[in-house]
Structure 1
């Protein structure tokens, strides 16, 4: 194996170690999700046109998005699954569509 091959293998090992060391815990995922919801409430992108009750509740939340996100956190259910190098998170709430997220490198990416 040449120098370039060894370099690639060492880079993959280092990336795996970094992913393992920076995978967010359940508490960190909750905090990251709360921050993400607060940002979506503030810019209005989270309000669904199909759900009138959610529209009313979230429109009222526009005044203080961070506090509202903390309150909404109580009705959001999290299914956190540790995958060693990353974590998968499924969220469900009566106000939003279910989301699938991946937590890795101290980040939360949802679709």
Structure 2
């Protein structure tokens, strides 16, 4: 079964409190220009250093995560937002069970 991706104009609830224990990482929007995903990271999980061509925004919805970018660790808690320019190498580690909304611009501005 193919994953459902939101269509233009469709409202999507990215974090329903009644399903927090079962929430999983999921691509919410996937177009040639934009990817939006809900990233679920259990405490202790790490994502190694990586970079993408387009700009990225991270919004912490639950828990606490550290993001390593521009030579330092940035701690994000609920409602914290972080912008990273295209090609910025970054890594993540969950300090507690965390959910992060990630937006990736697939085609950087020219």
TM class by shorter chain equals: under 0.3
**Greater percentage in helix:** 1
In terms of Rg, which structure is larger? 1
Higher relative contact order (CA 8 A, sep 6+): 2
